[in-house]
Amino acid sequence: MAEAIVFWTLAVLILGLGIMVISARSAVHSVLFLVVNFLLVAVLYVMLNAEFVAVIQVLVYAGGIVVLYLFVVMLVSLKKAPERYADPRRVAWTGTLLAGAVLLEVVAIVVASSGGGEPAATEGALGAADTPFAECGAGPLVSCNTEQLGWVLYTSYLIPFEVASMLLLVAMIGAIVLAKRHL
C-alpha cells in the first residue's frame, strides 16, 4: 500500500515535470526541470531494487549529462526563431490533438490491460539465476544487482557491450569531425 502511494506520487510528479521540461519558456528552466525529473526517476529505480541503475542515473544523467546541457544552453545564444516559422497557434493545435489522441490510446490500453495478473517473471530475466550471485537479492532492499549486472554484462552480453564501445568511438570521432572547422 505504502509502495503504491509512493509510486503514484512519483508518477504524477515525473509526468508533471516532463511537461514542464517541454513547455518552459527558458531553456535553462527546462534543463533544471529535467534534473529534478531524472532524480525522481532514480527514486523509482530504487523502489525496483535496482540501486546500481539508480546511482548511475544520478551520477551520469542528473550529474554529467545535464551539466553538459547547461553548458550548451549557455554557450549557444538561443535567438528567437525566424518569423516565417512562427505560426505557434496552428502547430500547437495539431501537435496537441495528435499527442492527445496517442495519449488516450495508450492510457486506454494500459487501463484495459491492468489487473491481468502479475507481469511476466522478472526474476532471472537478466539471466540472474545463472550467475554465482543467485542467492543475493533475497532481501527487500539489500540486493547485489551491481554484481549481477556486471556478471551478465561481461559474459552473456559481452558482444553488445563491446559494440557499444565502438558506437561511443564513432560518436567521439563524429563530434570532432563536426566541431573542427578544418581538419
For other proteins, the binding residues (CB under 8 A) are 105-106, 108-110, 112-113, 116, 119-122, 125, 127, 130, 154-160, 163-164, 166-167, 169-171, 173-174, 176-178, 181, 183
Cβ proximity to other proteins: between 83 and 123 the closer is 123
Integer Cα distance of 160 and 162 in angstroms: 5
Sign of the CA dihedral with 163 first, then 165, 169, and 174 last: positive
Are the C-beta atoms of 27 and 14 separated by less than 8 Å? no
Q: C-beta of 179: minimal distance to other proteins in Å? A: 10
Q: C-beta of 108: minimal distance to other proteins in Å? A: 8
Q: C-beta of 125: minimal distance to other proteins in Å? A: 5
Cβ proximity to other proteins: between 49 and 156 the closer is 156
Distance of CA 117 to the CA centre of its chain: 26
Q: C-beta of 56: minimal distance to other proteins in Å? A: 17
Cβ proximity to other proteins: between 84 and 181 the closer is 181
Integer Cα distance of 166 and 163 in angstroms: 5
Cβ proximity to other proteins: between 15 and 108 the closer is 108
Integer Cα distance of 147 and 126 in angstroms: 12
Q: C-beta of 117: minimal distance to other proteins in Å? A: 11
Integer Cα distance of 142 and 6 in angstroms: 19
Integer Cα distance of 38 and 157 in angstroms: 26
Cβ proximity to other proteins: between 47 and 106 the closer is 106
